[in-house]
Amino acid sequence: MFKFRKDTVFRYNILVVFGFTLFALVIIGNAAIIMFKERDEWNKIKERNIKYNVPIEPRRGNVLNDKGELIVSTLPLYRIHLDFKYINRHSQKDENETRRKRDSLWNADLHDLCVGLNEIFPQKSVESFKKDLAYGQKNNKRYHPLYNRKISYTQYMRILELPIINQGKKYSGIIVEEEIQRKNIFGDIGMSTFGIVRKTTDNNKQEIEEINGLEKKYDKYLRGVQGIGRKEKTGGKFILKTDKAAEDGMDIQTTISSEMLDICENAVKKVLKKYHLPAGWAMLMETETGDIKAIVNLTKLSDGIYAETIENIPNNPTPNHALCRLMEPGSIFKTIALTAAIEDGKLTTNDSVKAYASKVCNFNGQRVTDEMYRDNGTGMYSMAEALKYSSNISMVQYIRKAYGTNPKEYTNTLQRFGLTENYRLIDNEATPYLTLPGTKRWNGFSLNSMSYGYAVGMTGINILSFYNTIANGGKQMQPRLVKAVIKDSKIIEEYPTKVLNEQLISKKTTDTVTDLLVEVVNGKDGTGARAKSGMMLVAGKTGTANVPNSQTGKYDNSEKMMSFCGFFPADKPKYTLLVQMMYDKKQDTRPDSLRIKLGGGSTAAVAFKEIAEKIMAQEYTIPLEAVADTIYRHEPTVKDGNMTEAYGILKEMGFISGKKRELEDDENIVWGKTKFENDSIYEFNNKEYSKDFVPNVCGMGAKDAVFLMQQCNLDVEVHGYGTVKSQSIVAGTRVRERRKVRLTLAP
């Protein structure tokens, strides 16, 4: 018996071992089949359900103004649609209940929804919203737009709080599409300087990234570091899981003032529109620091329409007129020429040259013309008169007198002034040039031409920087456009103001030149008369340069650049400003009766004056006591609301007469309005509110309005400041506990 049991256990063990072995062989066989025979098929399934090394894009850093406020940012935009057929079907019972509740919500709250939408998008009336949504609901539209335009994140968040929408997708059918865009907070102002980042296609229809301006210059800071993740399919949807988090880009703080940018843009645009000009630009620099406070580049897109653009269109040959457009500057260069001669000791203001009565003269076979001639009775022009009347003929005589035997000395001084410097404020900034003796460009006419702004190629920033050195008493500053790179409110890299030369030009010379520029604006018959201001002393110089015809390459007076460059206040300069505008005869659509001859004095100088006066108006402050009315007493405005508190304050201020009934100062708040009567007494009109009905809080301050709404067990959201102008739930509506009410305030 014992032997039988022992054999049975043995046979059982063998059977178990055999079974496990067979099972293991099956597993190994299946694994082998999967690994080798079905490997490709399983890999395809894996690829359909898991995607590895998915790039996670970082949030690009912001471009900030001089105060650290947003100028350019990466912002989400949204399109909102409604699916009136959407129901989360779990069961027939759930479907019926969902339909019933949804229909009840839409019938009860459609009006309140439309009121809320009208507050967010006032361009569309409440009735228009109601008609549009009622149509979508009646016809069971599947993709019905709530609003026909892209909306901001703030608007999107406000929409989510509106009646019906706040009940979620199950009852509202809301469909949200998000799109990330790089956005300039001020529209297109400053676009050509701040730059753009956008996706575009090349000639082979391959998608590429287009980037320029400061966006390109500081891309390594702004871009951030890409993260890595994987997408796994769960419940029919891909869920992105992060393996390595993206590192958001850093911010760059510029020297640009948003207010000054707006002032420059409006002033330039006004003149461009008036004379139908094809393009114009302005650059404003803080004299002491070299900080560029504003830079605008406007291009005519169509009749009356001007904007900043980086597109290569006929009126916009470069992405940035002020920094990238290389041109012969014309008469604003005369200031530079005379400064060189005075600084080199070649001329003084006591020198004079022959005042030719003819407007056309020949020098070494070159025809030189003047726009105006003024007979001072002496037959000679002083240096001040040569500059004031912008006489090309006089300038040729002065520069030939100073450098006729050694023109290289002249060009060496101009180079020392930094006129060929590329400051590399943005990547595409052009490099200026001078015509130098001994080169192929140089000929017998070069010195003549270079005395009044031809035979040289200048950018706006180089001209502005030179005038700023004059304004700064000879100290040459590095033009600065970016102050710092910032990460999480900490400065990562700073770009301090930089002095290029403590005394590039002597103080004696700059004082002399400043007096000459003041005379151009304030002297009799000066070409810069339209820049003269009653607020301050202005110093500057006009310029009108012929531009080679874009078709023929010849100077035929069909195109010209009109300029004014100067600084203000001239006796203690704070800002240096350059304004330049283009003229094209083919685009001049003015009637013949209005087609007056244009130049720097009638265009750029006008914009210069407006910019200078508006900027300095911001600088001036008047003490409060200087504007106080000491004769008439002005009664304070009292908002509707808590009259008990208002009474106490008015009585303390002496506006309550003892003749009027005093309000009881007890625990019961008296609510109502005030009325001021002619005998300097306030009348109080009391009002009682019921907690069962939504009160009318329009006209109240935020404190009282919120208190009353909360007394009715309503959740309150306040937007704006000042006095309540509207409320999202109509006054008198029966209170539904914990319902959200939105109060909109305005000054």
Q: Where are the alpha helices (DSSP H) in 350-506?
A: 383-388, 392-403, 407-416, 446-450, 460-471
CA distance readout (Å), 154 to 78, 120, 127, 535, 747: 10, 10, 23, 42, 21
DSSP state for residue 422 in the 8-state scheme: -
What does the pLDDT average to over 334-349?
Answer: 97
Query: Is a pLDDT exceeding 60 seen at residue 168?
Result: yes
Q: What is the pLDDT of residue 536?
A: 96
User: Exposure of 730 by Cβ count < 10 A (0-12 exposed, 13-18 middle, 19+ buried)?
Assistant: exposed
Structure tokens at 44: 């395809």
**Token code pair at residue 289:** 């620091």
Mean pLDDT of 652-658: 63
The pLDDT of residue 667 is 47
Residue 25 pLDDT more than 70? yes
As a three-state string, the secondary structure of 356-391 is CCCCEEEECCEEEECCCCCCCCCCEEEHHHHHHCCC
14 pLDDT band, cuts 50/70/90, is confident
Is the pLDDT at 46 greater than 60? The verdict is no
Question: Do the bridges between strand 715-720 and strand 740-746 make them parallel or antiparallel, or are there none, so unpaired?
Answer: parallel
pLDDT at residue 96 in the model: 78
Please count the helices (runs of H) and the strands (runs of E) in the chain: 22, 32
Higher local confidence (pLDDT), 509 or 186:
509
Residue for token pair 């803080």: 286
Q: Is the pLDDT of residue 236 over 60?
A: no
Q: Is the pLDDT of residue 607 over 50?
A: yes
Q: Please list the helix, strand and coil fractions of the chain in percent, rounded to the nearest 5, in that order.
A: 35, 25, 40
Q: What are φ and ψ of residue 408, in 5° steps?
A: -65, -30
Residue 124 CA to residue 121 CA, distance in Å, equals: 6
Mean pLDDT check: name the lowest of 35-49, 124-138, 229-243, 438-452: 35-49
**Of 118-132, 675-689, 706-720, which one has max mean pLDDT?**
118-132
For residue 275, what pLDDT band results from cuts at 50, 70 and 90? very high
Q: CA nearest 240: which of 74, 52, 60?
A: 52
| For residues 15-29, average pLDDT | 73
pLDDT at 2: 46
Residue 665 has pLDDT above 60, yes or no: no
Instruction: Please provide the average confidence, as pLDDT, over all residues in the chain.
Output: 86
pLDDT value at 38 more than 70: no
692 versus 349: the higher-pLDDT residue is 349
- Quote the pLDDT of residue 396: 97
Among 511-520, 643-652, 713-722, which stretch is predicted with the lowest mean pLDDT? Answer: 643-652
Predicted confidence at residue 674, as pLDDT, reads 72
- Check whether 91 has a pLDDT greater than 60: no
Identify the pLDDT of residue 581.
Answer: 98
The share of the chain scoring above pLDDT 90, in percent, equals: 51
Question: pLDDT category, 170, cuts 50, 70, 90?
Answer: confident
CA distances from 534 to 249, 514, 705 (A): 47, 18, 48
pLDDT in tens, 403-462: 999 999 999 999 999 999 999 999 999 999 999 999 999 998 999 999 999 999 999 999
Residues constituting the chain: 747
Interval 513-535 mean pLDDT: 96
Structure tokens at 603: 């265009």
- Write the pLDDT tens digit of every residue in 459-498: 999 999 999 999 999 999 999 999 999 998 899 999 999 9
Q: What's the confidence (pLDDT) of residue 546? A: 94
From the CB of residue 624, how many other CB atoms can be counted at a distance below 10 Å? 7
Q: Is the pLDDT of residue 344 over 90?
A: yes
**Distance of alpha carbon 146 from alpha carbon 164, whole angstroms:** 13
For residue range 534-584, list pLDDT tens digits in order.
Answer: 999 999 999 999 999 877 888 888 899 999 999 999 999 999 999 999 999
Q: Is a pLDDT exceeding 80 seen at residue 627? A: no
Percentage of the chain modeled with pLDDT above 70:
86
Cα distance between residue 290 and residue 283, in whole Å: 12
To the nearest 10 degrees (0 to 180), the angle between helices 392-403 and 407-416 is 100
pLDDT computed for residue 635 by the predictor: 65
Task: Spell 487-505 as b/e; 16+ CB within 10 A means b.
Answer: eeeeeeeeeeeeebeeebb
Which of 617 and 92 is assigned the larger pLDDT?
617
Tell me which of 130-139, 259-268, 278-287, 517-526 is least confident: 130-139
pLDDT for residue 393 is more than 80: yes
Q: Nearest CA to 479 among 457, 456, 463, 492?
A: 463
Q: Specify the pLDDT at position 52.
A: 72
Strand extents, DSSP E, 261-357: 279-286, 292-302, 305-307, 352-354
> For position 323, what pLDDT does the model report?
97
Confidence of residue 45 (pLDDT cuts 50, 70, 90): low
Residue 293 C-alpha from the chain's centroid: 13
CB of 319 closer than 8 Å to CB of 212: yes
Name which of 619, 613, 610, 551 is nearest 585 in CA terms.
551
pLDDT for res 176 = 86
